């Protein structure tokens, strides 16, 4: 289920097929059906559909009405995720898929999880594009101090999202000691940069390095080749709207394959991240309940809301643009 | 609760009384009340009602307002079922009650059960008037092959329903061997005929006989007196709409009293039928969920939908007719 | 949550603060926040509010927009209960708070409990202002006979409620024996008087005395100083509307501090009262379900509905009056 459209996904060889999970006959879900040579069969009254959604068999009837077809969606598998284009198929574009790190990528040690939210997906987008909350929601789990919340990251608008980067200094964390590659214990700082893309994809890199590195780069974007990297981590996260009040959140994360972190360390850190995401879920679902008491009431915006508002605005703009293009294409038809 | 009207049913001697389960005073349910000599008393504030729904006592008050009455419904007990007429009482007609087999009928060995559906009752009517689904939903439980789904039964419109009959040939079942009355094991075929009546009553007879019998009758309706009957079974089923999304399904079934089937065989077969009905429930509730995502979206109809559409059409037609007759009767009043 | 407004309550020294449980920034609940010197901090993005609801800190931003404030409510702690004025603050008046008995009152031995109803609060007001139901709903738990239901109490309108009093005679109870202060067992009768005040506060006194006392006072209000009191009991109850279908019911009760009842007797009697309140809850929630099937359908009123209708009328009248006064005050502003 994405944006209230039920979906059935299946593999045909290496190809992934995405169809509406709804038989044209009587709306039974095809996901209760059966994969067969040449398609999928609804197991209510036996309608069979080819991969393009056309009905190829109605038991006991030769005529196959044109209307007896199921909607299909452009779909791509990339970096361990399946990307379904829910809009006008003519406007689907693989280039819109943000660059993330797959679970099988040999350069990284990734772990993956997912959480279902009882909230509108834009509240989760808001959360992920404004990390101010880390100091309050995740003070324990991520060990962030309030000093972190008092600084603003750098923002760069992207065509379909926003880039957010900053240096995290030792005072931003309750624990800021790390072991360097040559075995010394040092105070670290980290360079954190992520792109947040439509409709809700986060691709974040966090590079830990000895305190003082930021100063060497005038607190700007560092030349990572010239940095004494203590640890280099990536996280991919995808906010998937199911209904107006349910959202599935996929996430993965881990360090470089060369990381000296033990598996149990990585497990522990990944589990801590999950606990933090559950903290977000608790807060956001409570927020959603309050919003639903009076949905039209305005928010009071702050300087930390620039990125969240950029994403909301882009979604509204691109949705409108896609509709206009579809309408234009339709009216241009002979 | 039938068509969102709460009901309280009770016996007064051999008479069954059906009243709205709602005290005229403050809407408390009379089913939480107490049967007394001469009526039923609401156990909230003590209003007492006679069997005709008139209030006969208000504690502490002599005046009994005319409005203090409870709606009653024409009700008949027949063949182990209680039939309540929810419409205009002036139009109630015992002749509308379809002929079914009661649990106490000495000619049959009936067993009974019930299942609640989270779905609109018309979806269950659709299911029961198009057995194509048996090949897909009940392939295991009822052992039907796809060959069964590829044939269409004979349909005969009835004034308040439809008659559906057909011969089931050995190829329609994964297991089509049976023991004859004289102890031989033979391939059987069966003649299946049922009437489906408004608002959702199925009365079905299934006669098993040796393969070849259908051919003797030119595949038409057989003269059962001239058939070597292996087994003769009856099933009564009643689809009772409670609310727009809840329906209670009553069912019973069994063979002739003379059947040589053991009780454990019958128990086993009845349990298998229940499992099959739960397969229907799973499918229909999933179908309902899909429909509710977009209720106005049209179905694609097939040749197997003639009987379902006949029943839907009859319900719409008879409902309209009943309302017009009531309106006509009202306007004819002096 | 009162009348669908989420509330956070906290103490600042001896002062109680009541604020809307909704951060002005993104509607997160302040009840998930943190009390700090000088106010309460939202633990989503760190907004901090003073006790008057003004925002005093936004992390990382100097500007504090005027709109970044949280609604506060006049609040008073009195007799163990916290009274929040949900309406126009200018019209709040401590004199509106009915006189009840607190849990710490040295003259009484009070016990307290609470129950949540899945029903509109006016149904509970109706219940508490018409004790006719005691003979039916609480026949077992409170030992009331139907004779009780056949008599009407005396009613006196109050400016913001109604006073209801009556003598309860031995025939009204299945058990009407009690021990007097000098150790004799006697038949008792009781004088029961309560005020029921807007929006739903019950303050009831029940005085047990030897049979015959009512006659000495011509069945009128007795001079309690001239009565041989066997037992003297108080109960305070508060019906608190949370949403249109949820209501929190607070109750307390007990005898004079001088009562010779043992603690276990009092525990047992208080537990019995709780069971009775659960009987009310069962009935009222079933009543609510029936009402919701057809909300506009009229009730049939009786002579026992005078007090319930008085309270409903007062609530409608005072709500309208408060709104008009607020509107008048607004338009009188320069």
Residues A287-306 have pLDDT tens digits of 999 999 999 999 899 999 99
Touching check for B230 and chain A: CB below 8 Å?
no
**SS3 of A30, please?**
helix
Beta strand B185-197 pairing with B201-210: antiparallel
A3/B contact by beta carbon, under 8 A = no
Please say if the pLDDT value at position A37 is more than 80: yes
Whether A46 has its CB under 8 Å from any CB of chain B: the answer is yes
- Closest C-alpha among B196, B229, B217, B221 to residue B124: B196
How does pLDDT run along chain B (334 residues), one tens digit per residue? 999 999 999 999 989 999 999 999 999 999 999 999 999 999 999 999 999 999 999 999 999 999 999 999 999 999 999 999 999 999 999 999 999 999 999 999 999 999 999 999 999 999 999 999 999 999 999 999 999 999 999 999 999 999 999 999 999 998 888 887 788 888 999 999 999 999 999 999 999 999 999 999 999 999 999 999 999 999 999 999 999 999 999 999 999 999 988 999 999 999 999 999 999 999 999 999 999 999 999 989 999 999 999 999 999 999 999 999 999 887 877 6
**Quick check: B283 and A32 CB within 8 A?**
yes
CB contact under 8 A, B136 and A43: yes
CA distances from C82 to A184, C94, C319 (A): 59, 12, 21
Element (H, E) at A154: strand A154-158
Cβ neighbours of B306 in A, within 8 Å: none
Q: How many CB pairs under 8 A join A and B?
A: 72
Neighbours of B18 (CB within 10 A): 21
DSSP assignment of C162-206, as one string? EEEEEEE-GGGBS--EEE-TTS-EEEEEEEEEEEEETTTEEEEEE
Which residue, among A126, A134, A302, would best test binding to C if mutated, counting the most C CBs under 10 Å from its CB?
A302
Residues contacting C274, CB < 8 A, separation 6+: C113, C115
- Determine what percent of chain C is predicted with pLDDT higher than 90: 93
Burial label, A36 (beta-carbon count in 10 A; 0-12, 13-18, 19+): exposed
What are the residues whose beta carbons fall under 8 Å from the beta carbon of C79, sequence distance 6 or more?
Answer: C99, C100, C101, C102, C105, C236
Reduced to 3 states (helix: H, G, I; strand: E, B; else coil), residue B330 is helix
pLDDT at site A7: 98
Instruction: Give the C window 6-35 contacts with A, CB below 8 Å.
Output: 6, 21-22, 24-29, 32
Helices A121-128 and A306-331: crossing angle in degrees, nearest 10, is 130
Tell if the CB–CB gap between C58 and A302 is shorter than 8 Å.
yes
Selected residues 64-103 of chain A with any CB under 8 Å from a CB in chain B = 65, 67-68
> By three-state DSSP, how is residue B141 classified?
coil
**Count of alpha carbons within 13 angstroms of residue B64, beta-carbon side:** 14
C neighbours by CB contacts (3+ pairs under 8 Å)? A, B
Cβ A152–C24 below 8 Å, yes or no? no
d(CA A269, CA B296): 49
Residues of C in contact with B43 (CB under 8 A): 136-137, 283
The pLDDT assigned to B185 comes to 84
Q: Is C45 on the interface with A (CB under 8 A)?
A: yes
Closest alpha carbon within chain C to A281 = C44
Is-contact A85 A98, C-beta < 8 A? no
Helix or strand (DSSP H, E) at B329: helix B306-331
> pLDDT of C259-278, one tens digit each?
988 999 999 999 999 999 99
Helices (H), chain A: 121-128, 134-137, 146-149, 213-216, 263-293, 306-331
Residue (of A254, A273, A299, A321) closest to A122 by Cα position: A299
Max CA pair span of chain A: 77
| A172 to chain B, closest Cα gap in Å | 47
Collapsed DSSP state (helix, strand, coil) of residue A138 = coil
Residue A281's nearest CA partner among A248, A234, A304, A241 is: A248
Report the alpha-carbon distance of residue A69 to residue B19 in Å, rounded. Answer: 48
pLDDT tens digits for range A244-290: 999 999 999 999 999 988 999 999 999 999 999 999 999 999 999 99
In angstroms and rounded to an integer, the radius of gyration of the C-alpha atoms of chain C is 23
Confirm if A203 and A192 have CB atoms less than 8 A apart: no
Find the Cα–Cα–Cα–Cα dihedral C258, C261, C263, C265, rounded to 10°.
-160
Q: B29-46: b or e for each residue (b if 16 or more CB lie within 10 Å)?
A: bbbbbeeeeebbbbbbbb
Q: Which residues of B touch C291 (CB under 8 A)?
A: 27
- Taking the Cβ of residue C151 and every Cβ of chain B, the question of whether any pair is shorter than 8 Å is answered with yes
The neighbouring-strand residues paired with A235 are A204, A253
Q: What is the pLDDT of residue B22?
A: 98
pTM of the complete model: 0.94
H or E, element range at C78 = strand C75-78
Q: How confident is the model at residue C334 (pLDDT cuts 50, 70, 90)?
A: low
Q: Contact partners of B by the rule of 3+ C-beta pairs under 8 A?
A: A, C
ipTM for this prediction? 0.95
Q: Do C29 and A300 touch (CB under 8 A)?
A: no
């Amino acid at each position: 289920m994405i944006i209230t459209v039920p979906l059935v996904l299946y593999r045909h060889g290496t190809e992934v097929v995405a169809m509406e999970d709804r038989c044209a006959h009587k709306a039974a879900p095809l996901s209760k059906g059966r994969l067969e040579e040449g398609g999928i069969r609804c197991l209510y009254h036996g309608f069979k559909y080819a991969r393009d959604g056309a009905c190829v068999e109605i038991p006991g009837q030769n005529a196959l009405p044109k209307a007896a077809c199921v909607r299909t969606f452009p779909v791509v598998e990339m970096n361990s995720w399946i990307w379904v284009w829910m809009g006008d198929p003519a406007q689907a574009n693989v280039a819109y898929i943000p660059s993330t790190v797959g679970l099988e990528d040999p350069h990284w040690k990734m772990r993956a999880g997912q959480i279902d939210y009882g909230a509108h997906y834009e509240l989760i987008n808001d959360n992920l594009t404004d990390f101010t909350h880390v100091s309050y929601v995740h003070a324990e789990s991520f060990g962030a101090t309030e000093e972190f919340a008092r600084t603003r990251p750098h923002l760069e608008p992207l065509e379909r999202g926003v880039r957010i980067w900053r240096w995290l200094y030792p005072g931003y964390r309750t624990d800021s000691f790390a072991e360097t590659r040559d075995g010394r214990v040092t105070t670290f700082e980290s360079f954190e940069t992520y792109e947040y893309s439509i409709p809700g994809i986060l691709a974040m890199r966090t590079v830990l390095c000895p305190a003082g590195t930021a100063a060497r780069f005038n607190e700007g974007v560092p030349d990572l080749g010239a940095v004494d990297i203590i640890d280099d981590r990536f996280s991919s996260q995808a906010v998937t709207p199911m209904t107006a009040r349910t959202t599935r959140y996929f996430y993965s994360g881990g360090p470089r394959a060369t990381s000296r972190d033990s598996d149990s360390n990585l497990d522990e850190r990944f589990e801590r991240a999950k606990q933090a995401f559950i903290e977000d879920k608790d807060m956001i679902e409570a927020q959603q309940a309050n919003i639903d008491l009076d949905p039209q009431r305005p928010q009071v915006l702050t300087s930390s809301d620039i990125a969240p508002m950029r994403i909301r605005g882009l979604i509204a703009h691109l949705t409108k643009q896609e509709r206009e293009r579809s309408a234009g294409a339709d009216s241009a038809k002979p």
